[in-house]
Structure 1
Amino acid sequence: MHTLSQLRSGKLKGIKRLDLSCGLTTFPEDIFSLADSLEILNLSGNALSSLPDDLPRLKSLKVIFCSDNQFDHLPEVLGRCSNLCMVGFKANQIQTVSAAALPLELRWLILTDNQISHLPAELGQCHALQKLMLAGNQLQSLPETLAACQNLELIRISANQLQALPDWLFSLPKLAWLAFAGNPFCPMPPASPHAPAIHWQDLEVAEQLGEGASGVIYKALWQQENPRAVALKRFKGALTSDGLPQCEMAACIAAGEHPYLIGAIGQVEHPDQHPALLMPLIDGFSNLAGPPSLESCTRDIYAQDQYFSLENTLKIASSIAAAAEHLHAAHILHGDLYAHNILIGPENETRLGDFGAASFYTPEQNLLQNIEVRAFACLLEELLSRTQGSAATLDKLANLQISSAQVTISARPLFSEIKKILSSL
């Protein structure tokens, strides 16, 4: 994190990214001293409610974050920033979004956790848009013009007031990651009769194991007749970047046990009603990849020297296909089938986790399965780019990848078929 004194002293001259979180109520004019170099401006965690009209003076600006501030509308000046492609205004009090506020080069829009009830039809003119994050608003509908955004790959519309899934979602050829739980058309399932009651006082919380956007995971000891080491996920708040904690917990528990899922033991009864989930402790595993960067937008980041044998790629792909088939049989859409949500062990065994974007769907909505197949196609494409082995088998895998990503959603193979193809290889 940078400081105002550093900025004013000239010590930050030439930097490409500026992070300022120091109780700002007005936009510091000193930022314009970085006009020739600044590409990423992060002003999250302040008390700002407006941006200056001459913001386009930051002629190289590509990314702006103003989350956790006090904006009640998306500033229209953003639309005049010609190179701006990523806009993040999470957790403000935004009620209105005008067409003038939308940059033409927009690729990634984050308006999670606001009070937006309407979006302008002009959003459909942002043809470069790849990620649209709108969870936790008051939207009753989405503009039908979004059907023109043929590059959309990730959509988060959980925890709104939507009465149905828009039909045009199924015409988006690249859509792969979709979250819609917590809307009126998507009721919560009944509590699982097999999930045990877990009392907070029976848990001895130990060291932190990891942290994500939605919560923090700790190692814990569950005091029972036979004490057991477990993983405890404590959610950070009432809303995550993907949706509601209670939807994530319900999906994780309803998924049940499967050899390639991390799964859940049950919901923790916290004395302060703080949402928490108990999960099996997975030792000796690490994430298959890191999450997308600002530059890669929708694609995960792998270690530079990370490569796979053909045998291991087949093993990873087969296990994830089996896990996804299991979820779809329970009418659960994972919504975030990504390498960064896959844990991999020393023998390349895998576990799919993180149900933050999971949604329940009805048999009438089975075409949603085909959308998730494209997420698998993206994963397979990434693995194949790092796999060495028989050219003939790699060609067959490449054909499967192409088939799973084809433009006509209904023509894609389902995971049952994908499993058979992988098994034959």
Structure 2
Amino acid sequence: MHTLEQLRAGQLAGVRRLKLCCGLSDFPREIFDLADSLEILDLSGNALSMLPDDLPRLHKLRIIFCSDNLFTTLPAVLGSCEELSMIGFKANRIRHVPAAALPPRLRWLTLTDNAIEVLPDELGNCHELQKLMLAGNCLSRLPATLANCRQLELVRIAANRFTALPDCLLSLPRLSWLAYAGNPFSEARELAAPADAGAAGVAWQRLELAQQLGEGASGVIYRARLDGCTDVAVKVFKGAMTSDGLPRSEMAACVSAGAHPSLIPILGMLAGHPQQASGLVMPLIDAAFGNLAGPPSLASCTRDVYADGARFDASQALAIAHGIASAVCQLHARGIVHGDLYGHNILHTAAGACLLGDFGAASMFVPGSPQGDLLQGIEARAFGVLLGELIAHGAAPLPLLQALHEACLQDDVLRRPRFDVIERTLLEMFPA
């Protein structure tokens, strides 16, 4: 975090990344003094409603974040910034997205939690677009031209007003991670989530919170003691809207998923939180489990970041791949797509035991339907990406996984293997 005083005193000369959060209502003109170096500008958490018409003077600007401000229109001047590839205007008051606001090199557009009803057809001209974050708006349709965005891999349209899943998404050759829960066409299945043991309430008063264990897009996870004797993990949702969708959609998917050796189990839903926050109570995971990967970076966009030197031998890679495939096979049989099938949502041990978690982007579908077949094919591509990462970080070549990896990545969505086939294929790879 930088200060306005540092900027005005010339102390930030040469910086590539500038972050100012100090109640700004006007764009500080001193930022232009950094034009020859500035690549990332973060003005989130201010009171801005406009950007200057001469913003393109920041000729090296690649990334701009203006979340939690007062914009009602996505500034048209953004489209004139030729190097700009990432735009983040989450949690503003945006209703209008002019075509002129879309820069030619756009890869990542985040407009989560606004009031957008219509997107311009020109969005389909953003041929480099890979990530599109639109959860929590008022959209009822997407431009059909989005079918031209053949590099698009991750889409979030949860908590909007869609009465049907947009057809333009279902044949995109690279789409791998899709979240659409909390829309009129999907809500009936979410509301019908089974009231089994996973849906039971766990009273806040029964919990003694300890240290924070982690934090994701949808919530914060704490270590806690249940009834003074049992160690558990408690996920407290951050608010009514996350980058992936609604907490209630995540909870519906969690309690519908059922028990599986490679799914993080649910003890119950949090009840009676002092601030009425939603939450989930889970068993505390053994310390032998660690994250398979870190989430995508600004540079990698849609690809996880693995630790330097991360290596998996053949038995580890095969065990992880089979465990996750088996878990997703069960989800699909129950009409659930995970929507965020990534290494950073997988815990694993050195022996290859694994657990898939974080259902923040999960959505429901009708098993056996033509649309369900397409959705399963989309998730198969996400699994193909995961296989590719396991192969790339293999301690030795993994030829057995290569053919399956390629099958999952083929452009034709319906030609990709379904997870019952994937699971069976992986099982056959284990030594007799």
If the length of structure 1 is used for normalisation, what is the TM-score?
A: 0.97
Q: 1-side partners of 2:255 and 2:325: how far apart?
A: 20
User: After the TM superposition, which of the residue ranges 170-179 and 249-258 deviates more from structure 2?
Assistant: 249-258
* Residue of structure 2 equivalent to 1:77: 77
Matched with 2:269 is 267
Q: How far apart, in 2, do the equivalents of 1:302 and 1:189 lie?
A: 37
1:206 offset after TM fit, Å? 1.4
Maintained 8 Å contact 2:201/2:270? yes
Q: Which moved more, 1:62-71 or 1:213-222?
A: 213-222
Q: Aligned partner of 1:376: which letter?
A: F
Matching residue of 2:44: 44
Q: CA–CA distance in 1 between the matches of 2:382 and 2:364?
A: 17
Q: In angstroms, what is the RMSD of aligned CA positions? A: 1.1
Q: Distance in 2 between matches of 1:20 and 1:176?
A: 34
2:195 matched residue in structure 1: 192
Pick from 383, 389, 402: which aligns with 1:382? 389
Q: How does 1:321-340 map to 2 (within 5 A)?
A: 321-340=325-344
Distance, in Å, in 1 between the alignment partners of 2:400 and 2:223 is 42
| Separation of aligned partners in 2, 1:338 and 1:197 | 29
- Matched residues in 1 for 2:191 and 2:337: separation? 14
Measured against aligned partners, the alpha-carbon deviations of 1:267-317 in whole angstroms (never above 9, x if no partner) come to 111254211111121121221100001111000000111111111111111
State the alpha-carbon separation in 2 of the partners of residues 160 and 263 from structure 1: 29
Alpha-carbon distance in structure 1 between the residues aligned to 2:410 and 2:340? 19
Cα distance in structure 2, aligned partners of 1:252 and 1:404: 25
The worse-fitting range, judged by mean Cα deviation, of 337-346 and 194-203 is 194-203
Equivalent residues, number: 420
The answer as to whether partners of 2:315 and 2:352 remain within 8 angstroms in 1 is no
Give the aligned partner of residue 400 of structure 1: 404
2:158 maps to 158
Rounded to whole Å, the distance in 2 between the matches of 1:33 and 1:349 is: 53
Structure 2 counterpart of 1:83, one-letter code = E
Q: Which stretch shifts more, 59-68 or 267-276?
A: 267-276
Contact 1:15–1:34, Cα closer than 8 Å, also in 2: yes
Q: Distance in 2 between matches of 1:173 and 1:120?
A: 22
Structure-to-structure mapping, 1:13-412, within 5 angstroms: 13-187=13-187, 188-190=190-192, 191-194=194-197, 195-223=199-227, 227-271=229-273, 272-284=275-287, 285-363=289-367, 364=369, 365-367=371-373, 368-389=375-396, 391=397, 394-412=398-416
Q: Distance in 2 between matches of 1:354 and 1:193?
A: 20
Give the counterpart letter for 1:380 in structure 2: L
Contact kept? 1:253, 1:263, Cα under 8 Å: no
Q: Which amino acid aligns with 2:213?
A: L
**Partner secondary structure for residue 96 of structure 1:** coil
Report deviation, 1:212: 1.6
State the alpha-carbon separation in 2 of the partners of residues 327 and 347 from structure 1: 24
Whole-Å separation in 1 of the counterparts to 2:58 and 2:201: 55
User: Is the contact made by 1:76 and 1:102 (CA closer than 8 Å) also made in structure 2?
Assistant: yes
CA distance in 1, matches of 2:282, 2:191: 20
Tell me which moved more, 342-351 or 85-94.
342-351
Contiguous gaps of at least 5 residues in structure 2: none
Q: Which amino acid aligns with 1:237?
A: G
Deviations 1:158-216 (A, max 9, x none): 00000101122121000000000000000223242323221111111111111122211
Task: Name segments (4+ residues, structure 1) moved above 4 Å.
Answer: none
C-alpha displacement of 1:386 = 1.0
Verify the 8 A CA contact 2:316 2:350 in the aligned structure 1.
Answer: no
The aligned residue for residue 423 of structure 1 is 427
Tell me if structure 2 keeps the 8 A contact 1:67–1:91. Answer: yes
The offset of 1:145, in angstroms, is 0.5
Contact 2:217 2:244 in 1 (8 A): no
Aligned partners of 1:24 and 1:47 also within 8 Å: yes
Residue 22 of structure 1 and its aligned partner are, at CA, apart by 0.6
The one-letter code matched in structure 2 to 1:274 is A
Contact 2:196 2:255 in 1 (8 A): no
The aligned amino acid for 2:124 is G
Cα shift at 1:2: 0.6
Greater shift, 301-310 or 266-275, is seen at 266-275
TM, length-normalised to structure 2: 0.95
CA distance in 2, matches of 1:422, 1:211: 32
**Identity in percent:** 58
